[in-house]
Amino acid sequence: MDSAHLPGHGRFAPSPTSALHLGNLRTALVAWLLARRSGRGFVVRVEDLDQVRVAAAGDIADQQLRDLEALGLDWDGPVVRQSARLEIYAEMARRLPSYPCFCTRREIAAASRAPDGNPRSGEGDWLPYPGTCRGLSRSRRAELAGRRPPALRLAAPVHHWTVHDLARGTQSGRVDDVVLRRNDGTWAYNLAVVVDDGLQGVDQVVRARDLWPSAPRQAMIADLLGLPAPGYAHTGLVTGPGGKRLAKARGAAGMAELAAGGLSAARVRAVLCRSLGLPEVDRLTDLLAGDPGIDAALRPPRGAAADSAEPGPLEAGPLAGPRGWWSDVALDAPAEGTSGQPAGSTQEAGSANRMSTT
Footprint on this chain of ligand GLU (rule: CB under 6 A): 13-15, 47, 193, 207, 211
All residues at 6 or more sequence positions from 141 whose CB lies less than 8 Å from its CB, including other chains: 100, 102, 150
Torsion of CA 62, 64, 70, 75, to 10 degrees: -80
Least separation in angstroms between residue 297's CB and ligand GLU is: 22
Residue 129, CB-side half-sphere exposure with 13 Å CA sphere: 24
- Quick check: helix, strand or coil at residue 329? strand
Closest CB to ligand GLU among residues 133, 178: 178
Minimum distance from CB of 248 to ligand GLU (Å)? Answer: 8
Longest dimension (CA), the chain: 71
How many helices (H) and strands (E) would you count in the chain? 12, 14
Closer CB to ligand GLU, 16 or 150, in the complex: 16
Q: Which is nearer to ligand GLU, 15 or 275 (CB)?
A: 15
Instruction: Tell me the closest approach of the beta carbon of residue 165 to ligand GLU, in angstroms.
Output: 13
- Distance CA(330)–CA(354), nearest Å, equals 4
When CB distances to ligand GLU are compared, the closest residue is 207
Kindly state the smallest distance separating residue 18's Cβ from ligand GLU, in Å: 9
Pick between residue 23 and residue 128 the one whose CB is nearest to ligand GLU.
23
CA distances from 127 to 120, 123, 177, 184 (A): 7, 8, 11, 21
Name the minimum Å distance from CB 211 to ligand GLU: 6
Half-sphere exposure of 186 (CA within 13 A, CB side): 15
Min separation Cβ 301 and ligand GLU, Å: 24
Give whichever of 13 and 195 is closer to ligand GLU, judged by the CB atom: 13
- Comparison of 169 and 230: residue with beta carbon closer to ligand GLU: 230
| Partners of 44 in beta bridges | 12
How many whole angstroms from its chain centre is CA 315? Answer: 15
Q: Which residues contact 158 (CB under 8 A, 6 or more apart)?
A: 175, 220
What is the C-alpha to C-alpha distance for residues 227 and 205, in angstroms, rounded to an integer? Answer: 14
By C-beta, is 47 or 332 nearer to ligand GLU? 47
> CB of 206: closest distance to ligand GLU in angstroms?
8
Q: Which is nearer to ligand GLU, 55 or 343 (CB)?
A: 55
Q: What is the smallest separation between the CB atom of 221 and ligand GLU, expressed in angstroms?
A: 12
**What's the angle, vertex CA 250, arms to CA 245 and CA 252, rounded to 5?**
70
List phi, psi (to 5°) of 261. -85, 5
